[in-house]
Structure 1
Amino acid sequence: MPTVLITGASRGLGLEFVRQYRADGWDVIATCRDPAKAPELTATGAEVHALDVTDDAAVKALGRTLAGRTLDVLINNAGVYPLKGPQGSFGDIPVKPWMEALRTNVIAPWKVAETFVANLEQAERPVLATISSKMGSIGDAASPGSVVYRSSKAGVNMVVKGLSIELGPRGIICLAFHPGWVKTDMGGPNALITPEQSITGLRRLIAAATPADNGRFLAYDGQEVPW
């Protein structure tokens, strides 16, 4: 039975990843900050661990707990979108939430990868997938606003590229994904697609990934996203 580890799985995209992989018979290891406040996640029957991805000691502790277990897929999904609306505009951006975004969206995915690389190496075709966003595309940027979130996603794209260079020779396929504009708490009710549509597409890409795809930035529908 293949195994997937998913961070930030209490709601939205992470929760839908859990549901779909569970439905397909995978062994699912899911993390969230407080499982006691995640009844929908615990109801899936997945193996759930408490984890704040910004807590380096906690990440390492989970690494020790899962030592020796094979991970076929690792999904860096945990993320934050602070400062929506006017507060995220030029001239009115406080530093603290920006640092929080960088710590969660940029640094944590790298540290999680470092922690579980040995688990991935045990798999036949390991995939390390990181949920980014088209909003982090420098080539696609054409409107003002949301620089805190945009810069954090541009940063994690560089993290994925760095991981692809580091881990590609070790047989690990590293990918950055744009999930689309999804109807979640983060995406809002005006978004264009459902979590089911997004995750179905992303899982299809993960399942089909080959070493030739290492280091790519793809949308849920398979389209290449400009860096």
Structure 2
Amino acid sequence: MSKVLITGANRGIGLGLTKTYLANGYDVHATYRDSAHAKELLDLARHNHRLQCHGLDVTDYPAVNKLASQFSSLDIFISNAGYYGAKGNGLGHTDVDDWRYTFEVNTIAPLKWVESFYQVLKQGKEKKIACLSSKMGSINDNQTGGAYEYRSSKAALNAVVKSLSIDCEPWGISVIAIHPGWVKTTMGGAQAQIDPLTSAHGIFDVIDKTNLKKSGQFFNYDGSRLVW
């Protein structure tokens, strides 16, 4: 049975991915930060023996290392947890501490998780890493400016993904960045274009079709390739 690990799975896209991978026969390990905001995920686990939930903050790296020590193998790692940053921090109003935290969650944490789990990914069958990025991290696609904290953190994540794809290639591990679409979540807002399950189904298909030839690339949830 293939095994997937998904961070930030308590709501939105992460919860949608959890449901999608369960529906496709995977054993799913899902992380959440606060049980008070993970009721649906924890209820799902109580009724599905193939779902195991782990409560931890994605920036608590000793806890991440401890979690990794419980795995003998892993097929897919999906870095989904993310933080947009405080709204309204435009030019002249950037918050340095909030910017640092945005980078911690969106850029540093995904790499630290890979550092903890790449040894067990080497023992898996599928050997895939997917980091949820954003078109807002695309330098070429930036036509509106602003969102300095979020844009810069996702652009940096894309650079991390590219480097990881090169470093992980000798072990047969593919690494990609995925834009999940504009999704109706707490971050995306009610005016967004698609629901979390639509995004999750698209992300599942993109990851399923990923191989070493596609490693180091940036994809939309519909499978189309995006520019950095």
TM-score, with structure 1 as normaliser: 0.95
Matched with 1:7 is: 7
Contact 1:32 1:51 in 2 (8 A): yes
Structure 1 SS opposite 2:162:
helix
The 1:187/1:108 distance shift into structure 2, 3 A limit, reads same
Which 4+ stretches in 1 moved above 3 angstroms?
Answer: none
Superposed displacement of residue 124, structure 1: 2.2
Matched with 1:207 is: 208
Structure 2 SS opposite 1:93:
coil
Structure 1 SS opposite 2:69:
helix
Superposed displacement of residue 36, structure 1: 4.8
Residue 34 (str. 1) matches residue 37 (str. 2): no
Q: 1:55 aligns with which of 57, 60, 65?
A: 60
Residue 145 (str. 1) matches residue 146 (str. 2): yes
Matched with 1:124 is: 125
Q: 1:83 aligns with which of 77, 82, 86?
A: 86
How many residues are paired up?
A: 223
Superposed displacement of residue 57, structure 1: 1.2
What 5-or-longer segments of structure 1 have no aligned partner?
Answer: none
- In 2, the alpha carbon distance for the partners of 1:58 and 1:36 equals 20
Structure 2 SS opposite 1:211:
coil
What 5-or-longer segments of structure 2 have no aligned partner?
Answer: 46-50
- CA deviations on 1:79-113 (whole Å, 9 max, x unpaired) are 101122xx221001110100000011000000000
- In 2, the alpha carbon distance for the partners of 1:115 and 1:181 equals 30
Amino acid at match of 2:173: I
- In 2, the alpha carbon distance for the partners of 1:4 and 1:169 equals 21
Superposed displacement of residue 197, structure 1: 1.2
Superposed displacement of residue 169, structure 1: 1.5
Superposed displacement of residue 131, structure 1: 0.2
- In 2, the alpha carbon distance for the partners of 1:37 and 1:17 equals 17
Contact 1:22 1:44 in 2 (8 A): no
- In 1, the alpha carbon distance for the partners of 2:178 and 2:146 equals 22
- In 1, the alpha carbon distance for the partners of 2:159 and 2:208 equals 23
- In 1, the alpha carbon distance for the partners of 2:65 and 2:36 equals 21
Matched with 2:198 is: 197
- In 2, the alpha carbon distance for the partners of 1:125 and 1:211 equals 11
Amino acid at match of 2:62: A
Structure 2 SS opposite 1:44:
helix
Matched with 1:64 is: 69
